[in-house]
Amino acid sequence: MEEILFYCQDCDAKVSSEQLGMLDEGKCPTCGSNYGFSTSPKGESDQFEEAVVLNDTDFLK
């Protein structure tokens, strides 16, 4: 079975699922940030740059 790797959303360091369970307060072992981890590298998760924000007036048109 292939091991799942998680990426720090601050420094993009790789962390295994076993390491993730042993982290101190969820902080990255490389940079110490609390930004969180994802299964996608940091560069692939910037989907909000393309997001369109809608407000009430958009629905009334």
What integer pLDDT is reported at residue 11 of this predicted model?
Answer: 93
User: Any idea how long the chain is?
Assistant: 61
Mean predicted confidence (pLDDT) in 31-39: 90
Of 19 and 47, the structure prediction assigns the larger pLDDT to 19
Contact between 13 and 7 under an 8 Å Cβ cutoff? The reply is: yes
pTM of the model: 0.66
DSSP state for residue 19 in the 8-state scheme:
H
The span from the CA of 32 to the CA of 42, in Å, is 16
